[in-house]
Homo-oligomer: A and B are copies of this chain.
Amino acid sequence: MPGNPTILVLNGPNLNLLGLREPEIYGHETLADIEEACLELASELALSVEFRQTNHEGQLVDWIHEARQSADGIVINAGAYSHSSIAILDALTAAGLPVIEVHMSNIYRRESFRHVSYVSRVAQGVICGLGGHGYELALTAIARILRSGD
């Protein structure tokens, strides 16, 4: 979709297991389902979406560096690394792009070590607790941000 702004959607550790385990708790939605819904919405929003997942902190840092050249915004669910990774914080700061942080669950209702996110220190917006739908809201938000030039 040439000419459209590109959004990099990054997923951190264990998110590849979504929908494959404990469906009675997490639902049947897989990461692939979320990706599909995002692509569909992206098309409506005239965005290009690049969707990735890794369990490696360093890989997330590498991808964020890449985004400096190839993307116009970042939607990131850094999973467990959100709570400990200063490296990801520094990479996002260096990227200088609009960032929306997403979490499937409401991290503020879970163990206290999940209440702090280094990503939140650099993200423009934070959306959590809304499952896969949160990614769609994040795309909607970043689309508006890019449109408004803010």
Contact = CB atoms under 8 A, between A and B. Distances in A.
Tell me the dominant secondary structure on chain A's binding face: helix
Report the copy number of this chain in the oligomer.
12
A108 B121 contact: yes
A87 B80 contact: yes
Interface in A84-135: 84-87, 89-91, 94, 96, 106, 108-109, 113-117, 120-121, 123-130, 133-134
A16 interface: yes
Given A21-B96, A58-B56, A84-B84, A120 B125 contact: no
A54 B58 contact: yes
A137 interface: yes
Contacts of A57: 56-58, 87
Contact of A81 (B87, B140, B144): B87
Contacts of A86: 80-81, 83-84, 113-114
A115 B126 CA distance: 12
A133 B124 CA distance: 13
A85 B58 CA distance: 13
A52 B98 CA distance: 30
Given A17-B68, A57-B58, A106-B126, 5 more contacts: A55-B91, A80-B85, A80-B87, A108-B123, A108-B126
B58 A65 contact: no
Q: Report, nearest first, the 10 A-B pairs whose CB atoms are least far apart.
A: A56-B58, A108-B120, A125-B129, A80-B86, A13-B87, A80-B87, A55-B61, A125-B130, A55-B58, A137-B137
